Amino acid sequence: MSRLLQTGLNAGKDPLIKVIDGEGVYFVLADGRRLIDGSNTGGPLGHKHPVMVEAMKKAASNPVINEGWFWAEREAAAEDLIDIAFGEEKSWVGAVRFFLSGSEANDLALTFCQALTGRRELATRERAYHGMAGLARQMTVQPHWHGGLALQGGGSKPVPSQASVRILPAPVNAKYGGVSDNRPLAERMAGTEEILSSVAATIIDYTQGGIYYDSGYQDYVANAARKAGSLWIADEVVTGLGRSGRWFAFQGGETRPDIVTLGKCLAGGSAPAGAVVMSKDVVDQMKDKSWQTYSTFRAHPSAVSAIRAYLSVMADGQIIRRVKELETRMQQRLVEIARKHPSVARVDGFGLHWTIELHGPDWRHWYADTIEAPIASRVAAQAIEAGAVIGTSGEQTSLFLAPSFIISDDELDTLISALDHGLELADAEFERGAA
């Protein structure tokens, strides 16, 4: 029995796989199999990318210097991030601060907004996930990610609330399947400005819970937040720096955030890293203030080296254009598969992040409080037989595909074929339930 405490990406008592190595888009398992790593939002360049490997070797010769001391390389990483990733957005970007993870970046961005505005309440949208640290966990409103304890015999012990959270209606989009509410956006979102009138920060992400934003939704929420005096945080921890098929998902709309939070791709998967990027307007409000937060290992030399290396690989935009090209291929193949499998209720996504939602119980009642693996995890287990690892984010009825940006057409076909194979199990169970 392992003495390592962990919570699996796929719900269930036992781990699906035991990974001992990785190369390119593949995991190498203890039994020698090589499986496509199909749901790795933190590995944009796959495993052992040569530029990232070399950067990490060089990082070992850097000084061990904490966040409290000025370091030229850390300053250079901030400049790289603004000049390269925010190159088209430099007119409004003010400053960067690095963090240990996307969760920490979200947590500290939210507390910062509370301090700056003098307000306590916060807002997000239905089915959101923003991380597992502090207020980021509080803003994660998927019931199974409450940060506490799920009792395998049924029931849970969640963490006590830290702040009042206002929950906005979610976007209702799908590339395949029905949507839950066909009313016009303004009608669905009526009263948003009033809801946000006492809110310090309104944070929106672009993929969580299998819900993907369109520009209309973003702009509506952003404009309502501005009118209400609530700071708008674009949570780009998953989507930022390439996965959406552009540098940032928010670039699909006309509005621009007060704050952007980053993680996942920021250091190319070679080191844990997050960032908070503030607009010039927000930075101007900081001129006579000091942000009183500190951590020894934020922007550690290994993270700084990895950030600069990743940005150098992505700088010419070629890989992001490739992600955008693969978006079309992903959508076509996934919709074809959905039409083939009666167990599939909905497909949505963009770039290289896609969700396949199955028919089944309402997500609002899923607390991961059972030993039995849910249907999504069982589908993922069967997909392994066909050569790919697929994640569920601990969901009961949803799977997501988020492969590395370097995946080839043939490898992508293998990944989607593995999903196709796994869905045969879901179809059998769905048809038994319908009989």
How confident is the model at residue 152, as a pLDDT? 84
pLDDT at 201 over 90: yes
Specify burial of residue 7 (Cβ count, 10 A radius: 0-12, 13-18, 19+): exposed
Cα(435)–Cα(432) distance, integer angstroms: 5
How confident is the model at residue 179, as a pLDDT? 77
- The mean per-residue pLDDT over the stretch 286-315 comes to 96
**How are beta strands 353-358 and 26-29 bridged, if at all?**
unpaired
* DSSP character at residue 11: -
pLDDT digits 0-9 by tens, 164-200: 999 999 999 999 997 778 899 999 999 999 999 999 9
Residue 293 corresponds to which tokens in the numbers above?
Answer: 């937060």
Confidence of residue 428 (pLDDT cuts 50, 70, 90): very high
pLDDT digits 0-9 by tens, 387-423: 999 999 999 999 999 999 999 999 999 999 999 999 9
* CB burial string 337-352: b at 16+ within 10 A, e below: bbeebebbbbbbbbbb
The answer, as to whether pTM is greater than 0.85, is yes
More confident residue, 430 or 2: 430
- Asked if 123 contacts 203 with a C-beta cutoff of 8 angstroms, the reply is yes
Domains of the chain in sequence order:
19-49+318-434 (3.90.1150.10), 50-314 (3.40.640.10)
pLDDT at 252 over 70: yes
How confident is the model at residue 434, as a pLDDT? 66
pLDDT digits 0-9 by tens, 76-115: 999 999 999 999 999 999 999 999 999 999 999 999 999 9
Residue where the block lists tokens 């409000």: 285
Integer angstrom CA distances of residue 78 from 250, 278, 381: 20, 12, 41
pLDDT at 356 over 90: yes
Cα(415)–Cα(403) distance, integer angstroms: 9
Highest mean pLDDT among 141-145, 348-352, 372-376: 348-352
